């Protein structure tokens, strides 16, 4: 299992953009497709909202990759 950390630059980041920014997909559009296909979990629950606002303290999972979101 791979663990990543993402440092927020504002109050939140949209889920599809987070996937792009950490390098799990090539674009925000590809991130939206991954979310829409039901492959992403936020805090252990499946998330289907492509532009869900992710804030500090949340954990996003895609496959065996876990992303912990940290405050600025």
Q: What is the DSSP string of 21-53?
A: HTTSSSSHHHHHHHHHTT-EEETTEE---TTPE
- Which pLDDT score, from 0 to 100, does residue 72 have? 82
- Which pLDDT score, from 0 to 100, does residue 53 have? 98
- Which pLDDT score, from 0 to 100, does residue 55 have? 98
- Which pLDDT score, from 0 to 100, does residue 65 have? 97
| CA angle 60–14–41, rounded 5-degree value | 25
- What would the mean pLDDT of 40-58 be, rounded to a whole number? 97
pLDDT in tens, 2-47: 999 999 999 999 999 999 999 999 998 999 999 999 999 999 999 9
- Assign 9 to helix, strand or coil: coil
């Amino acid at each position: 299992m791979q663990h990543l950390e993402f440092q927020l630059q504002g109050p939140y980041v949209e889920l599809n953009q987070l996937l792009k920014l950490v390098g799990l997909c090539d674009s925000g559009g590809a991130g939206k497709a991954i979310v829409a296909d039901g492959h992403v979990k936020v805090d252990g629950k499946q998330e289907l909202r492509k532009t869900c606002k992710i804030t500090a303290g949340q954990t996003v999972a895609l496959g065996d990759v876990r992303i912990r979101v940290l405050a600025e």
